[in-house]
Amino acid sequence: MNATLHRIRILIRKELLAILKDPRSRLVLVLPVILQSLLFGYAATFDLNEVPYALLDTDRSNASQQFVNVLDGSGVFDRVMNLSSPNQIGETIGKKRALLVIHLPANFERDILSGRGGVVQVIADGRNSNTGNVAASYVSAAVDRFNTQWNQLRGGSNPPLTIETRAWYNPNLETRWAMIPSLIGALSMLQVLMLSALSVAREREQGTFDQLLVTPLRPTEIMIGKAVPPILIGLTQSSIIFLLARFWFGIPFQGSLLTLYSGLLLFTTAAVGIGLALSAFSKTMQQAMLYTFVLLMPMMLLSGLTSAISNMPRAMQYLTYANPLRYAIDLVRRVYLEGAGFGYLYHDMWPLVIIALVTLPVAVWLFRHRLV
């Protein structure tokens, strides 16, 4: 019995030393835990510290001004625009200049004073249903405060103000409408990043790397050959998720397939560039998988998939600019739910082009460098 325990203890010690002797392994054991805890604590939150809204006040009365003062004094709402016409609402929401448009109709004060009750129309951006729901609940709280103040000053027990809510691009603010189209980019990235990250590392581990080097292929040609299959697989997986969203879940597709797949092609190319850089840097498949999993969680959390990027700390918002998934999710949502065309998507497409133009040459350089 003692001899068995001694052998087991020796084996445990040997395994711990094997793990802890490698500086990279020690880093992987500690850094991801700290990083992911910080990301979950700061980035993965459904609270909104600031709600940018546009105001369309067609009544311009004392009552409408009192309600606007309640909004602006709440510390949550940030008025970014004053609209002069209902025709401006579509552009404001479509270009994400505001999360909400609050419309106070004509005769707003007259309806309140007559006892019929005034109506506040709230137009919310439903492309991110979680954010839209939270923002709408904040407006409801502001309306409740206004009703309480109004009744205290003027008497009465009936609420003088009610809310009429409309969510554009997701009329019922269903989470499924926001989540499933986003998965067209998010789920395909998991497989694309993993396949590309394992490609070169697999060659080294299986002993076929040297055989690849003696072929007439140049390093750039090898990397292109390694990049194309994950891109094709990623586009195929995106197509499967698209078909499920459209025909199984019945989420209507408003945009153009050409626009959608042009954006997805740029996205998968940028993701493959990151994966190939990891693969060229890794000596073994195990290292490539570890690096991939360490990178995937921050990319998911900093993508805007579940929580709004605008609600994250400023430093983390800057980190999202290097995350291709951020642009892919915004692009897919806008094309799928809004029907946006190329003219409205340039701010999502050109960052993906830059990321691809940076990561692919870096992967080629690392590949050449690791040959020495």
Write b or e for each residue in 232-253: b if 16 or more Cβ atoms lie within 10 A of its Cβ, otherwise e.
ebbbebbbebbeebeeeeebeb
How many helices and strands in the chain, by DSSP H and E? 14, 5
**Residue 106: closest CA among 118, 92, 91:** 118
Mode of pairing for the β-strands spanning 100-104 and 118-125: antiparallel
Q: pLDDT tens digits, residue range 116-175?
A: 778 888 888 887 777 888 888 888 888 888 888 888 877 666 777 888 888 888 777 777
Q: What is the pLDDT of residue 188?
A: 83
Q: How far apart are the first and last CA of the chain?
A: 51
Q: What is the pLDDT of residue 372?
A: 45
- CATH top-level class for 51-168? alpha beta
Given a cut of 70, the residues of the chain with pLDDT beneath it are: 1, 7-8, 10-12, 14-16, 18-20, 22, 24-33, 35-47, 155-157, 207-215, 217, 219, 368-372
Half-sphere exposure of 283 (CA within 13 A, CB side): 3
Burial (CB < 10 A; 0-12, 13-18, 19+), residue 166, is: middle
The structural domains of the chain, with segments of one domain joined by +, span: 51-168, 175-369
Q: What is the pLDDT of residue 353?
A: 93
Q: What average pLDDT is seen over the chain? A: 81
Q: What is the pLDDT of residue 210?
A: 62
